[in-house]
Amino acid sequence: MADITPTDIVNKEFRRGFRGYACEEVDDFLQLVSDSLFHALEANQRLRAQVEGLTSEVQRYQQTEDLIKNSIVLAERTAEDLKSYALIEAESIRRNAEEQLREQRAELENLRQARHRAIAEMRAALTVQLSLLDAQEQRSSTTASAPREGELR
């Protein structure tokens, strides 16, 4: 079916019949139909342009939406990766701290044992020294009370 343009309507010639319609009325009506069709076609063209513009705008919004969705997905992945890394790092720090604590406790225990040994050694040395002093004192007192050779009591 061929499209009819307003010009086709205006230029349409009808054969004249014996008892035909009033030519002026037909021409006026055809002009009215032509004008209506012209305005309808203009409106249709404007609407098509508007649809085309809105379609491209919708496509832009869809592209923006896709970019936002991708950005959100990337941000979520990054957040999960950072969270995983932070948990791994925290676990590593905790293990290192526990190891340092064990080492420091072991060193503290070694220092306590060394202190106890040093005290025991000092005590033993002092006991030996006291024994020597006692023995020296006893000899001194025994020799002081015993008569010397040639001395009379």
Kindly report, residue by residue over 82-108, the tens digit of the pLDDT.
999 999 999 999 999 999 999 999 999
pLDDT tens digits, residue range 110-138? Answer: 999 999 999 999 999 999 999 999 999 99
Strands (E), the chain: none
* Residue 13: predicted pLDDT: 77
CB atoms within 10 A of CB 6: 19
Q: Give me 29's structure tokens.
A: 């009506």
pTM for this predicted structure: 0.48
How confident is the model at residue 1, as a pLDDT?
A: 47
> Tokens at residue 57, please?
């705008």
Q: Quick one: pLDDT at residue 149?
A: 62
Residue 27 has pLDDT above 70, yes or no: yes
Weakest mean pLDDT among 2-6, 8-12, 143-147: 143-147
Q: Return the higher-pLDDT residue of 49 and 147.
A: 49
Higher per-residue confidence, 36 vs 115: 115
The whole-chain average pLDDT of the chain stands at 89
- CA 70 to CA 63: how far, in whole Å? 10
Q: Give the C-alpha distances (Å, rounded to integers) separating 92 from 80, 89, 97.
A: 18, 5, 9
